[in-house]
């Protein structure tokens, strides 16, 4: 009699959130260097691209009309108006396809998007990245030289709201020393991959028991 095939492992969705300037992208890029099997979900945004960003790799830069069309037609897993100016969202189809095929996906979003993902996919692993203190975040934003003083102040006001949302996350990492924070994010990923609901333990258990013969009786 042929064996019944086991169901394919569903991929893991790793959500990395935190205030602008905290280093989420840097941490994710290092995680992808260490684990190239993970896929980075490329978000859509209505903001202009910054120097050094590559359309289609860092973000899909689209018009406000196109963004709202995608939102209205249910093509976004989550979306939010960030800093009261720009819209950001996650295309749903690539994420659904990857997870269904057993591929892990990492998603970089803000706290509003994280809340929406939590509601849509309760199984998602939620990680909040925090700065060591508010002044360090302010200095990092200013050092990027991509926003004027008004924009930095606006992002700091948004950060205050994000700090208030930390309780909805399962993990909190403090990005003080980059190498330590990278190790901690990798540790979260590896630990979650080993959870019984993700590691295919039933098939392992079946093989181990079948190999015991009469010895285990």
* Cα-Cα end-to-end distance for the chain: 24
Q: Which helix (H) or strand (E) holds 25?
A: helix 24-34
**Residue-averaged pLDDT of the chain:** 89
34: three-class secondary structure by DSSP: helix
Q: In degrees rounded to 5, what are phi and psi of residue 133?
A: -165, 170
With 60 as the cut, is the pLDDT of residue 2 above it? Answer: no
d(CA 83, CA 62): 18
The fold of 13-210 is Rossmann fold (3.40.50)
Give the model confidence (pLDDT) of 73-83 as tens digits. 999 999 988 87
Give the model confidence (pLDDT) of 118-160 as tens digits. 999 999 999 999 999 999 999 888 887 767 788 888 889 988 9
Give the model confidence (pLDDT) of 157-184 as tens digits. 988 999 999 999 999 999 999 999 999 9
């Amino acid at each position: 009699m042929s064996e019944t095939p086991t169901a394919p492992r569903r991929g893991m969705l790793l959500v990395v959130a935190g205030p602008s300037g905290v280093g989420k992208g840097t941490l994710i890029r290092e995680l992808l260097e260490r684990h190239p099997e993970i896929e980075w979900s490329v978000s859509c945004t209505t903001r202009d691209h910054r120097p050094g960003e590559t359309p289609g790799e860092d973000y899909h830069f689209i018009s406000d009309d196109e963004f709202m069309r995608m939102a209205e037609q249910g093509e976004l897993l989550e979306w939010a108006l960030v800093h009261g100016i720009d819209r950001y969202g996650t295309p749903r189809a690539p994420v659904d396809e990857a997870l269904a095929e057993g591929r892990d996906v990492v998603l970089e979003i803000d706290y509003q998007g994280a809340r929406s993902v939590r509601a849509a996919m309760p199984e998602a692993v939620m990680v909040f990245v925090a700065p060591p203190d508010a002044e360090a975040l302010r200095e990092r934003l200013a050092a990027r030289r991509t926003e004027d003083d008004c924009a930095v102040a606006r992002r700091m006001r948004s950060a205050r709201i994000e700090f208030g949302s930390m309780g909805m996350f399962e993990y909190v990492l403090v990005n003080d020393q980059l190498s330590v924070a990278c190790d901690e994010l990798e540790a979260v990923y590896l630990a979650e991959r080993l959870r019984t609901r993700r590691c295919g333990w039933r098939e392992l258990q079946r093989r181990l028991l079948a190999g015991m013969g009469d010895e285990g009786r």
